[in-house]
Structure 1
Amino acid sequence: MPKFNEQERDIIRERLFKEGQRLFSDHGLRKVTINDLTTAASISHGSFYNFFESKEHLFMEINLKKQREIFKQLDSFIYENKELEPRKLTKLVMYFIMDKFFTDPIISSINGELWEYISRRLPSQTIQNNNLNDSLVVEKLTEAGVKFNVHTSLVVKVFQAVFISAASFILDEEGEAAIDILMEGVIEKIVE
């Protein structure tokens, strides 16, 4: 396998991110092959593995990068709304994130079934990195004065469950109402 200098590695990694994002957005994780990715990025099949363990690993890295970008926007959103009552702020934050997630073709493609598929194919550390990313939302809310009745790890799991459930309702005619009811119940239970 060829050795790449640091500049070449950066260029190839960026190409893989760009082409992976395009292909995953257009076709979904399961339909994209390593060959599709390497052809689009103009690298050999074997070279792909110098950068990522699998297509699922690339997909998750793209997902995590997109989440970090959204969470940066979240800082100013929380700052602008920090005077709101904690439950109202939490609800607004969850809707803010949902709006960003559901308009992104990569993040919005992750439903319960795809998450199970990814979880089986990736090392647990990669999945834990996603959960750490998600816990940033809880930390940001806590910094804004929101107090939770349960441990952070449980809040993260509850938020993830709400997002996965909401993703399945998003195209449903009554989906918005169902999401709102689910959100209200969850927030009442976990926020002081």
Structure 2
Amino acid sequence: MKGFSKREREIIQKGLFEKGKELFGQFGIKKTSVEDLTKAVGISKGAFYSFYNSKEELFFTILEHYESEFREQLLKEAFQEGVDPKDSLKRFLKKAIVMMEENPILDKFRKGEMEYLLRKLPEEKLMEHFGDEDDFFLQFVEEQKRRGVFKDYDSKAISGIFKMIFFVNMNKDGFGEESYDEMIELVVDMVSTYLVNE
């Protein structure tokens, strides 16, 4: 197989990333084939594997990119000056849920693709990812405790509550559409009430 120059590799990698966002967002992981991706960027199926070990790895790379943007945007908006901290936390959690639901990749991941992806990816890659996620929540919690925003509960317990809210959202289909919005509203309200210092 003919090797690609550095510039060609950069262009192809960017193309796979962009087409991956488009195709995975529209069809999900299972219904998008390696051939769909390679046809979209004009390379052979064999050439695909010099960039990614699998379509699942490409999806995961895109997912991590979105999650990174998602965290950055949320942190910018959290606990701004002059805004009541309790209201700010409510907005933070609601905004996170809306962002997950509006992003086609995160939404597809939420709608049953997670289990499939967990089966297909190497365990060490998943452990690294979930470790980063734990670090993000823990750092966020520690920062808010340092600033006096959060009460002095165990940081890992608070971090776990945030993850639990996102986990519920990832599995919202199991909670019944008619009561889900009210349930999330109640959870967000209770967490904000008990977590934030007066």
Same fold (TM over 0.5): yes
Please indicate the TM-score interval, normalised by the length of the shorter structure. 0.7 to 0.9
What letter corresponds to residue 102 of structure 2 in structure 1? T
Cα distance in 2 between the residues matched to 1:105 and 1:174:
23
Partner of 1:128: 127
Q: CA deviation at 1:165?
A: 3.1
The structure number with the bigger radius of gyration is 2
1:114 aligns with 2:113: yes
Cα distance in 2 between the residues matched to 1:96 and 1:104:
12
Shift of the 137–2 alpha-carbon distance from structure 1 to 2, 3 Å rule, reads farther
Show the 5 A alignment for 1:8-19. 8-19=8-19
Cα distance in 2 between the residues matched to 1:93 and 1:187:
10
Q: CA deviation at 1:156?
A: 6.1
Shift of the 141–95 alpha-carbon distance from structure 1 to 2, 3 Å rule, reads farther
Q: Which runs of 5+ in 1 are unaligned?
A: none
Partner of 2:65: 65
Aligned length: 190
Question: How high is the TM-score relative to the length of structure 2?
Answer: 0.79
1:165 aligns with 2:171: yes
Partner of 1:181: 186
Cα distance in 2 between the residues matched to 1:82 and 1:29:
43
- Give a deviation string over 1:66-111, Cα, whole Å, max 9, x none: 11112121222015268644x6544332212111111001101123
Cα distance in 2 between the residues matched to 1:109 and 1:82:
36
CA-atom RMSD in angstroms: 3.0
What letter corresponds to residue 168 of structure 2 in structure 1? V
Determine if contact 1:162/1:182 at 8 Å carries over to the other structure.
no
Q: CA deviation at 1:65?
A: 0.3
- Give a deviation string over 1:27-63, Cα, whole Å, max 9, x none: 1111000100110111110111111111111111101
Determine if contact 1:134/1:156 at 8 Å carries over to the other structure.
no
Cα distance in 2 between the residues matched to 1:68 and 1:190:
25
- Give a deviation string over 1:169-188, Cα, whole Å, max 9, x none: 79924321022234445667
Shift of the 190–134 alpha-carbon distance from structure 1 to 2, 3 Å rule, reads farther
